[in-house]
Amino acid sequence: DAKTTQPTSMDCAEGRAANLPCNHSTISGNEYVYWYRQIHSQGPQYIIHGLKNNETNEMASLIITEDRKSSTLILPHATLRDTAVYYCIVRGSNSGYALNFGKGTSLLVTP
């Protein structure tokens, strides 16, 4: 599975959009981009995933560039409860779930 690169930490004001970038320049054609988050001391929680089209659900939006080498997770109206570590993961459709979670981006939402 392709490796990903994320910033170590980011800040966002409450009520503003949080845009979390992820680089995955070695992604291959059948690999999906997944996002999970981990709120302090809890198990990671699935957020969203996509292949090449932009995706949106009740939690977030995922924007994948046309060349698929990078993506952005968007939390449209961040709240204090969105403070967490966010993991960007690339996984092939035919590969298992031995996912490399890496260190993720620590997002701090401030009042």
Partner 1 sequence: NAGVTQTPKFQVLKTGQSMTLQCAQDMNHNSMYWYRQDPGMGLRLIYYSASEGTTDKGEVPNGYNVSRLNKREFSLRLESAAPSQTSVYFCATHPQDGELFFGEGSRLTVL
- Taking CB under 8 A as the binding criterion, the range among 13-21, 53-61, 63-71, 97-105 that sits at the site for partner 1 is 97-105
Q: Is the distance from CB of 84 to CB of 107 less than 8 angstroms?
A: yes
HSE of 76, CA atoms in CB hemisphere, 13 A = 8
State which of positions 22-51 bind partner 1 (CB under 8 A): 34, 36, 41-46, 49
Locate tokens 């459709």: which residue?
Answer: 93
Among the residue ranges 12-20, 55-63, 67-75, 101-109, the one whose residues contact partner 1 (CB under 8 A): 101-109
Sole binder of partner 1 in the list 53, 58, 67, 97 (CB under 8 A) = 97
Cβ-contact 62, 14 below 8 angstroms:
no
Pair 100, 1: CB distance under 8 Å: yes
Query: Shortest approach of partner 1 to residue 16 CB, angstroms?
Result: 26
Residues near partner 1, by CB under 8 A: 34, 36, 41-46, 49, 87, 93, 96-104
